[in-house]
Amino acid sequence: ELSVTVPQIALAPDSDMKLLLVACLASLVAGALETETLERPAGNGEELASPPNIVFILTDDQDVTLGGLEPMVQLKKLVRDQGVFFDNAFVHTPICCPSRSSYLTGNYIHNHGAVNNSVEGNCASFHWQKDAELRTYVTHLKKSGYKTGYVGKYLNQYGLKPAGGPSHIPAGWDHW
């Protein structure tokens, strides 16, 4: 049994944990979406190999110029220093909910419709839940047989009454 595990990193008490897409894992997600089943033949043809586990870590507000990562000592130590640091990276939509919506769906803002951080701007709105949320990378992983889990911030308005309250569990997640 395989599972997608998203670890929760303990940060200093004064820090505000928000979820950084580790870009190097994007290729794993893309590869996993191309598989038709969870079982692939091993090299010798006798045993079946399993697809990889995927750990997808997302943080935001990590602007280098503004020093967004400086107060997040544990995040620097556990993620940046042991992973990949992109010193010349860009984001197409530098607004939290539209950017997260793009990472979740693989679509630009004009295709997923989340234009700002408000419910009226389609951030976790009922329209988002009935449309773009049904087409996230997680729904594709789920259809491919993966077990999925999520920990942390989802979208800015998630859990608020105008967005359906905390009882709404986005499509594709086994453990929320």
The residues pairing with 41 across neighbouring beta strands, listed in sequence order, are 48
Q: Which of 24, 96, 97, 123 is catalytic?
A: 96
Question: Nearest CA to 163 among 111, 127, 113?
Answer: 127
* Residue that has been written with the tokens 């045993």 in this structure: 47
Whole-Å CA distances, 48 to 70, 84, 89, 145, 173: 45, 31, 38, 15, 26
* DSSP-H helix ranges across the chain: 26-34, 73-75, 96-105, 109-112, 126-130, 137-143
Question: DSSP letters of 15-34?
Answer: --------GGGHHHHHHHHH
For residues 98 and 114, what is the distance between their CA atoms, to the nearest angstrom?
5
Q: What residues are paired with 49 via a beta bridge?
A: 40
Say whether 96 is catalytic. yes
* Residue type (1 letter), 84: V
Active site (catalytic) residues:
96
